[in-house]
Structure 1
Amino acid sequence: MDTPKIPGPRDEGERQVLEKLMAIRDQLQLRKLDRTTYVRTQDVMVLYNQTIEQVRILSEIRNGKPVEENQVDRIVDSVFQLLSLFFMTIGRNNEAPAAYALTSTIKRLLDHLTESNLFSAQDLESMSDTLEHLSEIVHNSASTKPAPFLEALIAQRIDRCRASLSNLQRKIEDIAEPLRPTADKLISILRQMAVINTKSKFSPAEIHKRESELREIGESRKDGQFVDENGNVLKGSENISGLLERCLDYTKIILEKNGQFPDKWRSIYDVLVGIRNELDRLSLTQAWSLRETDLYDYQRQLDRIDESRVNGNWLDEQGRPAELYVQRTLLYLIRRSYGYIYHLMISSEPVSEALLPIYNQLQTLKRCLVEVKNSGGVTSVRELYPYSMKLHSIDNMRVDGKFMVGEDIPEGQGSVAELLAECFDLNYELRVDAEAADTPEVQTPELQSEA
């Protein structure tokens, strides 16, 4: 919607749909910004149903007609993206609409991995597992039954992601098994250097250390090739040698630039560093400070900057492409930020933000109890009083077995109840062990006579 490249709709019916969808998006944006109250399920579902109705009308208008992408398609994507994050916020993570935003982020990450040709098996494993989980959600979600086209849309997005993933997995298979740890090590070093390069200040010694590691890997070759213990050239040796040279070239560029970023690209750089740093902070404080809808603005900023490239690079005011150092640095920041967003989404708990304070307290209690158990338990029951009191105070908050907020019963009751039960069980086990340790052993007659 923010780019003039996308034309407006020509059909009057589509224009009406556009207006109504924009009104829905505005309501979602306003609700996203409101921090005075938690997001209620019923508010989200009203807007979700209105969106489904408008998309149904759009499908009828376009039925059997050739379609060119216009602003309606963009607004549909924006609204579904927001709704998807709202579904996470209200704790309905295991329903089809919640999968929409994740598929968008996974697709971005896969496109960037394909473009850079820099990835490890671990990078792909997580996304493969997530896609499997999303596929199960889409096919089992009751919420999409009134809107089968949404189920089909998300299923298509998952299939596209799987196709990209398969292409990348084949490239991993083109590297001999013994050589894959070396490939992973080189990718890790390259990413470490990218992190160092975007620090406000860094010591050249940090880069020299990685350079030494790279030269050590290079010296493990025989006649410029990676070979097995029998001297046979390993499959993928040429590609890994190319990656090694790429890493060595990057060390020279970083040392030469010494953190000095060209002024004409500084504005984009500062925005991306700011997004990366803010997402990094959220990843550390997620349980207490993140509302999933906050991710929407970061996504859209990243999307705009990413899509402003021409043939993979950014152009200055004179139409000249950015130099390699600028391009690599900006792309690293974009990819890192998308990676944070992905991590924050898959870490989202299926609990409404209204119940998150209770859920987070129980998570902390559980961690403490597990730590106490792993360190040998307690010496007396009295040591468990603070945990017991806290657990009972939380348990007493329930009304007819439910955690209520006003008249509402927020989503995630099962998750909170299960976690509470786990904490009670841990507390009980520790109490039993403490009581057993406190009970004096009864001396046998033989021992008594000896005494």
Structure 2
Amino acid sequence: METPAVPMPKDERERRILETLTVIQDNLLLLKRDRTKYIRTEDVMVLYDQLEEQVKQLNEVRKGELNKRENRLDKVLESCFQLISLFFMTIGRTTEAPAAYALTSTIKRLLDHLTEASLFSPKDLDSISNTLGKLESILKNSDAQHSPYLVELLANREALCKSMLANLRTQLDQLDGPIQAIYERLISIMRSMSLANTKSKFSLTEIQKFKSKLKEIEDSLVDGKFVDAEGTELRGSGAVAELLRRCLMWSDIVLERKGTIPESFKDKYNILINIRNDLEKLSITQAWSLRETDLYDFQRQLDKIDEARVDGNWLDHEGNPAELYVQRTLLYLIRRSYGYIYHLMYSSEPVSEALLPVYNQLQTLKRCLIEVKNSGGVGSVRELYPYSMKLNSIDNMRVDGKFMVGDDIPEGQGSVTELLAECFDLNYDLRVAVEALEEDSRRPSPAPQVAAQAAP
């Protein structure tokens, strides 16, 4: 476990707390690496209780101390909280305060990068705003359950993120309605070019198409300004015109470099490409392959590379800053990776990994049954047999109404049971509908009435 070089605590009491926290951290890492069995709630809660006790002691030691310089203890404590947070997600306790810690860390990173780059869309901000709203609700209901220190720390983080979010929204508010659509289109093109630039096979044609779209937007300018139908300059025209200039410049640079990274920065680039690709695969197969604690290693690698920047840029072995092309390419990969981590954390199901196989099967069954219902139902009761058999086999797994794994009762029983009930209801509705149709088809049709013909 690599911890950044920071001074050791001078206070002897803090040194003792650091020793205990280091043991807790090691135990968390060992538990994370053990893939031979499911992570049990009991194992996580034992380590969480130990962590809470050390936090309580640290608060007593530091009582009344303001703006204390950060030392190694703070770094190890942060690492422990990050791991515990991901463990809470893994065991399905996603609606409790500890689970929010890792998510707030990632949101803060994302907001830092959005602020630095000044490249963001309303959708970016809306997603983060919705997540912060859910975290606020979690914190309001956590006072009695968890460490007051943790709840206060999370509340402060949430407030900071909301403040940063408000500042970003203010920037968007400077744009008139019609020009916001152009702004969003430019953001989309810029990101698409950056994605194309980092593909394994560089496509000259793809970048040229994006440049053509930029040229179309440039042709709509009147004397270098964006104007309305009456010829009045739109509010925010200058900022969007500057963004257009940046996009065009980036397209020229990408076309010139064709995805080639200098050897001095190739190692960082390869690490970031691998992280981005691994996280992309996880985002596709998340339901079946993700253990949230695995995200810790990705975060540590990203944080290390991100924090290695000097005045916003990376330096090569000789201390020379990276050129603009390299800087933007590496930053795109970092930001994209943090975005994937945010998505994976946000999408974490409130179910223990021990129950995920059953939960995922039910999710698939539900989607299939809804699709069958929306496409007009089934033609006969026989067509429902596979769904009924699968649902009954899952239902029969329960012991006294609970899904057991060995002697354990994993978290998420309510979510799995509710999903099972929804599937049974959908299956029943389809059965009733097809039985009604079959009943109608068996009824004899009424004899046709022959109209009497009048005699001539």
For the criterion TM > 0.5, the same-fold answer is: yes
1:141 pairs with 2:142: yes
1:344 pairs with 2:376: no
Among all aligned residue pairs of Structure 1 and Structure 2, give the percentage whose two residues are the same amino acid. 63
Q: In structure 2, what is the Cα distance between the partners aligned to 1:151 and 1:203? A: 49
Q: In structure 2, what is the Cα distance between the partners aligned to 1:446 and 1:437? A: 21
Q: Structure 1 30/226 Cα, relative in aligned 2: closer, same or farther at 3 Å?
A: same
Q: In structure 1, what is the Cα distance between the partners aligned to 2:379 and 2:3? A: 66
* 1:124 alignment counterpart: 125
* 2:40 alignment counterpart: 40
Counterparts of 1:106-117 in structure 2, within 5 Å, are: 106-117=107-118
* 1:206 alignment counterpart: 206
Q: Structure 1 4/33 Cα, relative in aligned 2: closer, same or farther at 3 Å?
A: closer
For the residue of structure 2 that corresponds to 1:175, the secondary structure is: coil
Question: Contact 1:124/1:169 (CA < 8 Å) preserved in 2?
Answer: yes
Question: Contact 1:120/1:184 (CA < 8 Å) preserved in 2?
Answer: yes
Q: In structure 2, what is the Cα distance between the partners aligned to 1:267 and 1:281? A: 21
Q: In structure 2, what is the Cα distance between the partners aligned to 1:129 and 1:159? A: 14
* 2:402 alignment counterpart: 402
* 1:419 alignment counterpart: 419
Question: Contact 1:8/1:70 (CA < 8 Å) preserved in 2?
Answer: yes
Per the normalisation by structure 2, the TM-score is 0.96
For the residue of structure 2 that corresponds to 1:226, the secondary structure is: coil
Q: In structure 2, what is the Cα distance between the partners aligned to 1:301 and 1:448? A: 83
Deviation at 1:446, TM superposition (A): 4.7
* 1:70 alignment counterpart: 71
Q: In structure 1, what is the Cα distance between the partners aligned to 2:310 and 2:76? A: 23
* 2:230 alignment counterpart: 230
Question: Contact 1:94/1:141 (CA < 8 Å) preserved in 2?
Answer: no
Q: Deviations over 1:409-432 (max 9, x none)?
A: 110011001100110011011111
Q: In structure 1, what is the Cα distance between the partners aligned to 2:288 and 2:259? A: 34
Q: CA RMSD in A?
A: 1.3
Counterparts of 1:62-211 in structure 2, within 5 Å, are: 62-66=62-66, 67-141=68-142, 145-211=145-211
* 2:218 alignment counterpart: 218
Q: Deviations over 1:158-203 (max 9, x none)?
A: 1111111010010010111111111000000000000010012122
The letter for the 2-side match of 1:61 is V
1:22 pairs with 2:18: no
Deviation at 1:53, TM superposition (A): 0.5
For the residue of structure 2 that corresponds to 1:447, the secondary structure is: coil
* 1:442 alignment counterpart: 443
The letter for the 1-side match of 2:218 is G
Q: In structure 1, what is the Cα distance between the partners aligned to 2:2 and 2:398? A: 47
* 1:298 alignment counterpart: 298
Per the normalisation by structure 1, the TM-score is 0.97
Question: Contact 2:264/2:317 (CA < 8 Å) preserved in 1?
Answer: no
Q: In structure 2, what is the Cα distance between the partners aligned to 1:445 and 1:418? A: 45
The letter for the 1-side match of 2:340 is Y
The letter for the 2-side match of 1:108 is R
Counterparts of 1:241-390 in structure 2, within 5 Å, are: 241-390=241-390
Q: In structure 2, what is the Cα distance between the partners aligned to 1:217 and 1:141? A: 50
For the residue of structure 1 that corresponds to 2:46, the secondary structure is: helix
Deviation at 1:147, TM superposition (A): 1.4
Q: Structure 1 237/398 Cα, relative in aligned 2: closer, same or farther at 3 Å?
A: same
Q: In structure 2, what is the Cα distance between the partners aligned to 1:276 and 1:26? A: 27
Deviation at 1:5, TM superposition (A): 4.1
Question: Contact 1:102/1:342 (CA < 8 Å) preserved in 2?
Answer: yes
Deviation at 1:209, TM superposition (A): 0.3
How many corresponding residue pairs?
449
Question: Contact 1:314/1:327 (CA < 8 Å) preserved in 2?
Answer: yes
Q: Deviations over 1:260-279 (max 9, x none)?
A: 11000000000000000000
Deviation at 1:321, TM superposition (A): 0.8
Question: Contact 2:18/2:73 (CA < 8 Å) preserved in 1?
Answer: yes
Q: In structure 1, what is the Cα distance between the partners aligned to 2:225 and 2:159? A: 38
